[in-house]
Copies of this chain bind each other. A is one copy, B any other.
Amino acid sequence: MALILPPRLSTGAFDRAMRAFAGAVGAEWVLATAEDRKTYLDAYALGDGMNHVSGGAVAPASAEEVAAIVRLANEHKVPLWPVARGKNLGYGGAAPVMPGTVVLDLGRMKRIIEVDPKYGYCVLEPGVGFYDLYNHLRDNKIPLWMSVPGNGWGSVIGNALERGLGYTPYGDHASQLCGMEVVLPSGELMRTGQGAMGNNKAWHHYHHGFGPSWDQAIVQSNFGVVTKAGFWLMPEPEMTAQVRLELPKPDDIGWAIDILRELRLSNVIEHSFVFGNYLHDASIPSQRDEWYRGPGAIPDEVAEKIMARYGIGWWGCTLSLFGHEGVVKAREQILRNAIEPRLGKALEFREWRRGDPIEKSAAGRPSAVALQIVNWMGGRGGHIGFSPVMPSDGKLALEQFHRMKQRFAEYGFDYYTSFTMGVRHINNVNIIIYNRDDAEMVERARKLFGVLIADSKASGYGEYRTHIDFMDPVAATFDYNSGVMGRFNEQVKDAIDPNGILAPGKNGIWPKAYRGAKP
């Protein structure tokens, strides 16, 4: 595997940079062999992933080492791609947008610096994974709950910095960030929010400082490397109740979303929850071949068989209630009143009191089971997520569903989708699952993705997050006033990162030093 260098850098200059990095972090933490570069490829790439091959990686152990690397990167003009644990699966994993970029792997920085049960927060380095934090809370009997994404392999902070989603009342992960330590592109260490005051006691208590608040502008940006962050956790509730809805017909999602939006707005349901289609469940215990070997998307009659086998509906959705017993019981009744008449049967709640062994999905216990879906098509499986944001409206969701399903069918893919209900919005995550060993299928997946971007743009929806292959085209859909937002982002980027060394091309933001390398 040949070394691809960043633009305008000679092999000699690159080697000198890597040696300088070694001087800062120790030679064993500069990972520059062909095998190393392979490790940082996107494991689910549409193709061989070489269009995003890194120039290697460097793995600092502390904020000070990150700062040293960033200063050296400026000196040697070597671009860096920060990753927390590199598990941004479905969106590019650890791989950089621009080939030759050196991965700044923060996986060694995995200190749980603080967990505060009184106020419900923790302070984490980016290398701390969901399992690490879960084990820490459990082992120390700390009565705080996490919110975890569908796949819990990744970094808590890394996931939040990509605006990942979970399914408890703390499921909007970016909103739980409170006070960051950031290495700026200059190599300076900055603290955001109240932490901008050296001795401040409320750094992880209140989101803002004095003047502009930077946390949410650092999220999904290439403006700095987050080396630790405050993150809010949910106090363990006195009681939890959970109910599973199975909706038999595809069009049931329309009325269900409208009813549940009301309950979200009135805060009867306090958490984001997922309507997943039948494939959401069926792709975990089974593979496609067991059901259907024909060409094209699975026919609807096969879908019926799958649903019958697992006793699931076209859509499934788990709702949870949290709180004091009287509140939970009252809310169960509100849900019954709202949903049972449409569903035509009684809701069955499962209940847990504090201390009971509890279902993982209710309590924010991490799991990697969801990753099984990549085996659906056989071969070396991969998936890519297409994730537009839309209003929480039943009719719009139904239209979106039919449009996407039709497109998946046109391109011969089984339609895997989920609608995650916020309060006023939905994150609609559509997953294309493919066999990486089938070049024709991979090419079809890529074409489908492009069509989905265009369809959603035409419908007035933008992605909340995307794969490294598609960051430029998705950024281009944000086109108000000739793309002024993109120009504004790049104006800020150029001012704070004149050498363009941090994550060139991240979410469509190209520093001027590498604007020519934009594909």
A interface residues, Cβ below 8 angstroms from B: 118-121, 163, 169, 174, 178, 184, 188-192, 194-202, 204-221, 223, 232, 235, 237-238, 261, 265-268, 270, 323-327, 329-331, 333-334, 389-393, 396, 422, 424-425, 457, 459-466, 474-475, 477-481, 484-485, 488-489, 491-492, 494-496, 506-509
Contacts and interface: CB of A to CB of B under 8 A. Distances in A.
Nearest to A192: B485
Copies in the complex: 2
A485 B191 contact: yes
A198 B477 CA distance: 8
Given A197-B457, A268-B327, A464-B206, A121 B424 contact: yes
5 contacts: A119-B424, A188-B484, A214-B488, A267-B270, A268-B327
B324 A326 contact: no
Contact of A478 (B196, B237, B477, B478): B196
A333 B213 CA distance: 38
B461 A201 contact: yes
Contacts of A333: 326
A210 B465 CA distance: 6
Contact of A489 (B118, B184, B189, B211): B211
Question: Which of A121, A210, A223 counts the most B-chain CB atoms under 10 A from its CB?
Answer: A210
Contacts of A457: 197, 199
Given A188-B484, A485-B209, A462 B217 contact: no
A232 B237 CA distance: 27
A9 B120 CA distance: 53
User: Which 8 interchain pairs have the tightest Cβ spacing?
Assistant: A326-B330, A495-B495, A196-B485, A201-B460, A206-B425, A211-B507, A196-B478, A212-B221
B424 A206 contact: yes
Contact of A194 (B184, B326, B331, B389): B389
Nearest to A492: B492
A119 B392 contact: yes
A423 to B, nearest CB: 8
B496 A492 contact: yes
Contacts of A459: 201
Contacts of A220: 208, 210-213
Contact of A331 (B238, B327, B478, B494): B327
Given A118-B393, A208-B216, 12 more contacts: A174-B208, A188-B481, A191-B485, A202-B461, A210-B507, A211-B489, A212-B223, A213-B216, A235-B266, A268-B327, A326-B333, A491-B495
